[in-house]
Structure 1
């Protein structure tokens, strides 16, 4: 298996290598359509600041307490760096940090998962593998909807690995199944004439899954037919909670109460709560709704709302609307208002009903991740993954209760229903003349600034709520959150995807994947936090937040791309000593406090991968590639432990010129096998990861 040399892969003029077929089914081909955000929200160049918020915050002495790794830690004051001071006489020499002591993988285009020397790998579970008792084994020529409901779903994205108490080496693997691409599922698929059985299989192939897994004697992981195993599909009952529950906007003929939703889909990333549940973000839900050609338009108000979420009265790619009228945007216009929420699942109770939290807003959630402050306050961060959309946080009015007894779980499962939803507005005192779209660093040597969380909605017990946006009701804010954020004046970002808070420092990190429309005619201009026109490779944002308050400061940790290019930045670290990285997507942390990044759509002509990034000291900004995934695949849902790493390998082999009948990839089976989305484990014999 030859690795392609770096100098054969670098392409400064390339776009994301995401294939058009992937875009059609995953996000409704959003990149080829007009940007849904047509608001005239200001950008940094419009803002004249008399006094930087950084100075205000430092003068106020804001202190933040963080709970992480089982202890209470004081985070840095906003605006201060976590990098230790070094002697001016003898600068500290970077040394490889614990967690990052592995040989970096070279960029490549191999049809395999490529890992560092000294490590081993193994597939944990793949699409079609049995999950529930009685499930058939995978046979691509004999798929059935009944079988798929008992099998591992398609295009696994987010993954969580929850240790089972009292059972060493045993875990609950909780995964999302984001979307289906029928050309890579069904031999002989006809896109203009899908069958009812194919529709039923697709309904069963998306959603979520819970699978018990255990360590193998060799060090890998394998599935177990355990009592927690469960499949959640596009028609599993969910309870809608918060201000939207019972609102006219979510009532349908099938559910006139507006409180029980059939299913979840378009589940992208997610998070694990301290009380043991899993959060999942419903992202590109609009792709599942369509209408017949020439369908009469809905009223103008509904049209504006649909447009803001990318919904069009035209046939969808999957044509689900031809099999079930709830997916017909003309016949059932409220059905789509029941998707786009943060979903919470209790994986420890297979009979529990999952919930959708409308108090956290309806948007194209990449996921949601929870941070708990020293006094037990819960803060959930989430991004709206579309070009020029926004960053949000939810601050709960309830405090967390320890334990998993009935009383504690009842309290904690309602935490995300009561609190205040905010959207971010970012500013900077860097002169606009120093942000010219080229990515050139400003005179101060880095991109930095401050920001404010703008309140949108305050929710209370029993769905009671108060709108904090003039002219909109609480129900409108909860259901049409993008329009509320437009009115509030939020900052347009370059596809804010995963949010993660560092458990050691409390700093919050955001993956901003890319935005090739930045600076285009009629679109938002560059600013200090989105400093490049035609932003192909994205950036990673570091926020020092007053978690339960409304003020924060920010820095760009990474401006991604080819390190040999002038427009890239690695927190000041020597760019000749880092791995190329493009299109950051999901984030995670190891026990040493290093940031790990998975990528989606690498614009440098290499396969996507997983990277470790140092955050402190003289190594701050050091970036090393740990693995790459096969041809056509995306790296999703990284789980980083001391003993092993897992990644979800999504859509291997998906390519515009290929199909299941003419495959680009045969991974993971090889030979004449079928390319199958899978979860992969990587471990090191006789040692921990990266030490």
Structure 2
């Protein structure tokens, strides 16, 4: 989204470009503009005994010692020549099914919205059907089964022109419809001989929208920063996601600032509001014009602190549909892209998170104690712990800076730990964190390496020989390894891939703007893109191995899937056996039926609808193999 590329960071902290520029004078680089060749660390040899992480979707947890086997990647990639147009393309070794497009009913008695350009769902119907902006998701199987479970899926955003068929809402019903298209869906799905289908009227089916009651937990709960909490409602701009080893879903609020506006022209922004990008016009949704619910009106005295109630990681139990979502304030408030959970030393939960805005930061949360012990005592491991922000040094090392009120620098600015976490961006500025190029998805590989996509930064001005480019229009993927089995305060880092290095003429591996990211237990890295691709390609999903050596120019990257004109490829989860993968096409055709009618046939005249894509290998097999 274009507003992701704005910058609210005026801290003047040493930029990542400056760090890499300094590092280039001390370290060897590959020919051209490839990443660091003299890597600070190298993936262990495949014969070494490792602590393997077992993944289903995007998280990780340690499950004991085993020998890691490199997963094969042996499929025919989609050629560049076939990766554009109004319909998806997939490897000839694979096939796909379209599932839960926008407007799919979750309850009986509701007609499916099929994209008729002359109509839209009613607000009441939209609250009981699949929304738009399909993004992060996770599959929660029933009893470990591969054929049935709950698909938890985010509905990140829906432009007025797409959802309403008009540029701005005209009344409260329009606003209610727009809000109902946002949030999260819990969808009970089951596989049969005819493919995957929704189990309509399942008690597990539910929609969570900006109007759903929510609770708060952690250090900011019960403080003046969120008061009054009674009657708090909603989650919005739910981007990527994560999941916990105790079986709950984590949905991440990203560009929440864009849903607020100033309808009366009476609002004066605070320093903190400016740092989080609030503006009088927002993104043009017009929710602040609601005549009876003024929560999103920045100038309204009826709803103090409403802006502070968004920007959190939200925990939802898919198996307990009557339990309200809980916003976990210990994980900090910023524009969360996603969260990758791993079990660290002593059984502590570690969460890696990116703040998706140009020149913002990478964060890590470490729980206070062993997560199983905490839960046995009735405590959430996500409520007590330490939040850190990353500083990357020029010598290939880095530090995790603790965001604590006990730090004299932060104590001079804030009055409590709750303030530090609510204004985590400001705290990170003060501690000297490294501004990055739109940190997005994070993932933890089986050997403990952590990866993060940095989508792009077209405003980077200072040249440097390695990373990012000037401007960094195509993005890159960074890699680091923490000391102390993920809980340490220091790490070593290098660059895994620079996207521009794949653009050579005749190079079939080409990709730009990496966004979605997952490394499976076999070391296969799945890269999803969101941005203008080179060589006429639509956005895509590619596969490579994290054990390929030699930098970007030598990565054996294969294109598994390409989307449709104007879309983004995002969201990624699998069944436990990894033989079924779910991904999403978001905003196909940018909502314009002249650009795409997906999932209808290309010659139709229907509004394109965000959809989930179910991917399987012909004849069976792990997806990506």
TM-score for both structures, normalised by structure 2: 0.85
1:131 Cα deviation after fit: 1.3
Q: CA deviation at 1:172?
A: 1.2
Is it true that 1:100 corresponds to 2:73 in the alignment? yes
Match of 1:514 in 2: 456
Give the drift of 1:557: 0.6
1:457 maps onto 2:404 in alignment = yes
Q: Deviations over 1:100-146 (max 9, x none)?
A: 21111123321111101132211111111011344432254251111
Cα deviations by residue, 1:18-76 (Å, 9 ceiling, x for unpaired): xxxx53xxxxx354x5x210011123647989999x99x99xxxxx985612632499x
**Local SS of the residue matching 2:281:** coil
- C-alpha spacing 1:106/1:408, structure 2 compared with 1 (3 Å): same
- Equivalent runs, 1:136-175 vs 2, <5 Å: 136-138=111-113, 140=116, 141=119, 143-165=121-143, 167-175=145-153
Q: Which residue of 1 aligns with 2:497?
A: 558
Q: 1:214 aligns with which of 165, 187, 190?
A: 190
Equivalent position SS for 2:346: coil
Matched, 1:606 2:606: no
Alignment of 1:374-385 (within 5 A): 374-385=345-356
**Matches of 1:595 and 1:366, distance apart in 2:** 18
Aligned to 1:38: 10
**What's the secondary structure of 1:366's corresponding residue?**
strand
Distance in 1, Cα, partners of 2:99 & 2:376:
30
- What pairs with 1:403-442 in structure 2 (closer than 5 Å)? 408=375, 411=378, 414-429=380-395
Instruction: Spell out, residue by residue over 1:147-192, the C-alpha distance to the aligned partner (whole angstroms, 9 max, x if none).
Output: 11110011110111121106551121100000111212234x2x24
Pick one of 562, 570, 592 that aligns with 1:636: 570
Q: How does 1:300-339 map to 2 (within 5 A)?
A: 302-314=269-281, 316-323=283-290, 324-331=293-300, 332=303, 334-339=305-310
Alpha-carbon RMSD across the aligned residues, in angstroms, is 3.0
Alpha-carbon distance change, 410 to 344 in structure 1, aligned in 2, over 3 angstroms: farther
With over 3 angstroms needed to count, the CA separation of the structure-2 counterparts of 1:346 and 1:305, relative to structure 1, is: same
Unaligned residue ranges in structure 2 (runs of 5+): 28-35, 42-48, 55-61
SS at match of 2:398: strand
**CA distances 1:189-210 after superposition (whole Å, capped 9, x unpaired):** 2x24533222111111111011
Q: Distance in 1 between matches of 2:206 and 2:133?
A: 17
Q: Which runs of 5+ in 1 are unaligned?
A: 1-21, 24-28, 59-63, 76-81, 85-96, 430-448, 459-464, 520-524, 566-574
Q: Could you say which residue in structure 1 is the equivalent of 2:181?
A: 205
- 8 Å CA contact 1:393–1:421 kept in 2: the answer is yes
Are 1:681 and 2:614 an aligned pair? yes
State the alpha-carbon separation in 1 of the partners of residues 259 and 211 from structure 2.
13
Q: TM-score, normalised by structure 1?
A: 0.78
What is the rounded CA distance, in whole Å, between the counterparts of 1:387 and 1:116 in structure 2?
Answer: 34
| 8 Å Cα contact 1:467/1:474 also seen in 2 | no
Structure 2 CA distance for partners of 1:370 and 1:467, relative to 1, 3 Å: farther
- Contact map agreement 1:265 1:285 (CA 8 A) in 2: yes
Aligned residue for 2:204, secondary structure, equals coil
SS in 1 for 2:235: coil
**Structure 1 residues 467, 457: CA separation in 2 closer, same or farther (over 3 Å shift)?**
farther
The 3-state SS of whatever aligns with 1:477 is helix
Contact 2:346-2:369 within 8 A present in 1 as well: no
- Answer yes or no: is the 8 Å Cα contact 2:258–2:282 preserved in 1: no
The answer to whether the 8 Å contact 1:366/1:385 transfers is yes
Aligned residues: 576
Taking the aligned partners of 1:71 and 1:197, their CA distance within structure 2 comes to 50
> 1:264–1:339: 8 Å Cα contact kept in structure 2?
yes
CA deviations on 1:360-418 (whole Å, 9 max, x unpaired) are 1100000111110252111001000000000000000031229xxxx947746x11110
Q: Give the 3 Å change call, closer, same or farther, for CA 270–495 of structure 1 in structure 2.
A: same
| Structure-1 residue corresponding to 2:266 | 296
Q: Which residue of 2 aligns with 1:476?
A: 419
Residues 173 and 211 in structure 1, CA contact (< 8 A), matched pair in contact too = yes
